[in-house]
């Protein structure tokens, strides 16, 4: 059996890792992408003509043309949880299985979120930047997290791990999610409009889909306190960036932090990231060895199942999988 791993060398080191790759090579014949850029659809088709399986990184789109052009292809495995740039409907029509990894990045994203909260509150980035530039930093009065109110929009796996930590730090935790039940009595569930008006910090962790496109828009920012901070740890699609740019440049909220945005590969938009009241990181929430290796080994386990003739975990369209051999 043959497999294509689409990660370029840097992404392979950062997001897949040598242990997972070594195990993969014990199971199947592996073709690597040694180029310096993610494969475009035609490049993907050319590279995958003789393979049974593709393990795709998050930067590699898999449109309908790929499934139409590769009659040998049986499974596309995404080494991430997000499969939005894979045409699952086209895969199903072709009888190809699409799988995804589990979110092994939860703890890493929680930790980066905590870093953002502390940095926004105490001005760490501003002080460090001034010192690095040979200047004396402005002495600012910080904000204490204990006793403050944090509102979490979306109550999925990351939020469920983050909320108890925030409560343990002495913060009042509000949650808004119309589809989730909040059983922990330490947290209070509210409609998003009320949460926005009561929170000193608003953390966006809702799932990205058509319903949540631009969920945090001009009206949402208008409901926030003028001294509130906004943090986006979900996807850029959830935020109206033009509205966010306006409220930040007009100082209608205190500032923002973001690990995601609408730039390529869901990175923060440079126009927002350059602002002095913004802290931005280049989509690194899950970029720690335990998080990356967790998702990489999910694809290894999927390949192990396929080699044994079993149904792999993580299937998104199992009922339509007809190309099993």
Residue 325 lies in a domain: no
Q: Are residues 81 and 216 in the same domain?
A: no
Q: Are 54 and 33 in contact (CB under 8 A)?
A: no
Residue whose pair of structure tokens reads 């500032």 in the numeric block: 255
Q: Which residue ranges in the chain fall short of pLDDT 50?
A: none
Q: Are residues 149 and 266 in the same domain?
A: yes
Residue 68 lies in a domain: yes
Q: Are residues 276 and 228 in the same domain?
A: yes
Q: Are residues 169 and 227 in the same domain?
A: yes
Q: Are residues 40 and 138 in the same domain?
A: no
pLDDT of residue 76: 98
Cα distances from 3 to residues 26, 35, 310, 315, in angstroms, run 12, 17, 17, 17
Q: Are residues 178 and 273 in the same domain?
A: yes
Q: Are residues 145 and 171 in the same domain?
A: yes
pLDDT digits (tens, 9 = 90+) for 134-174: 999 999 999 999 999 999 999 999 999 999 999 999 999 99
Strand order in the sheet with 149-153: 187-189, 172-176, 149-153, 201-204, 229-232, 255-258, 278-280
Q: Are residues 295 and 148 in the same domain?
A: no
Helix (H, G, I), strand (E, B) or coil at 54: strand
The number of domains in the chain is 2
pLDDT of residue 321: 98
pLDDT of residue 93: 97
Which pTM value belongs to this model? 0.88
**How does DSSP assign 254-283, residue by residue?**
SEEEES--SBGGGBPPHHHHTSTTEEE-SS
Q: Are 151 and 201 in contact (CB under 8 A)?
A: yes
**170 is in which domain, residue-wise?**
106-280
Query: What is the CATH classification number for the domain harbouring 223?
Result: 3.40.50.720
| CB-side neighbour CA atoms (13 Å) of 244 | 27
Q: Are residues 153 and 98 in the same domain?
A: no
Residue 258 lies in a domain: yes
Count the neighbouring beta carbons within 10 Å of the beta carbon of residue 133.
8
pLDDT of residue 265: 87
Q: Are residues 292 and 156 in the same domain?
A: no
């Amino acid at each position: 059996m043959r497999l294509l791993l689409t990660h370029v060398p840097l992404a392979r080191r950062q997001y897949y890792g040598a242990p997972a790759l070594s195990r993969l090579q014990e199971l199947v014949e592996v073709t690597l992408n040694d180029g310096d850029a993610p494969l475009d659809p035609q490049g993907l088709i050319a590279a995958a003509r003789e393979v049974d399986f593709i393990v795709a990184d998050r930067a590699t789109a898999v449109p309908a043309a790929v499934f139409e052009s590769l009659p040998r292809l049986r499974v596309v495995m995404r080494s991430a949880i997000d499969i939005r740039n894979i045409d699952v409907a086209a895969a199903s029509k072709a009888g190809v299985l699409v799988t995804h990894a589990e979110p092994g990045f939860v703890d890493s994203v929680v930790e980066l979120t905590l870093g953002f909260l502390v940095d926004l509150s105490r001005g760490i980035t501003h002080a460090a930047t001034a010192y690095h530039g040979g200047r004396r930093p402005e002495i600012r009065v910080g904000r204490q997290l204990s006793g403050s109110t944090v509102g979490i929009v979306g109550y999925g796996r990351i939020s469920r791990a983050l909320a108890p930590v925030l409560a343990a730090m002495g913060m009042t935790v509000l949650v808004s999610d119309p589809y989730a039940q909040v059983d922990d009595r330490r947290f209070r569930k509210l409609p998003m409009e009320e949460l926005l008006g009561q929170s000193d910090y608003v953390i966006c962790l809702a799932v990205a889909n058509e319903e949540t496109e631009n969920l945090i828009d001009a009206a949402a920012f208008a409901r926030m306190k003028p001294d509130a901070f906004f943090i986006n740890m979900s996807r850029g699609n959830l935020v109206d960036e033009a509205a966010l740019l306006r409220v930040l440049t007009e100082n209608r909220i205190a500032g923002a932090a973001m690990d995601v945005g609408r730039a390529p590969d869901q990175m923060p938009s440079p126009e927002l990231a350059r602002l002095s009241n913004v802290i931005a990181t280049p989509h690194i929430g899950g970029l720690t060895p335990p998080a990356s290796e967790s998702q990489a080994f999910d694809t290894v386990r999927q390949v192990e199942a396929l080699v044994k003739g079993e149904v792999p975990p993580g299937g998104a369209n199992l009922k339509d999988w007809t190309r099993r051999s």
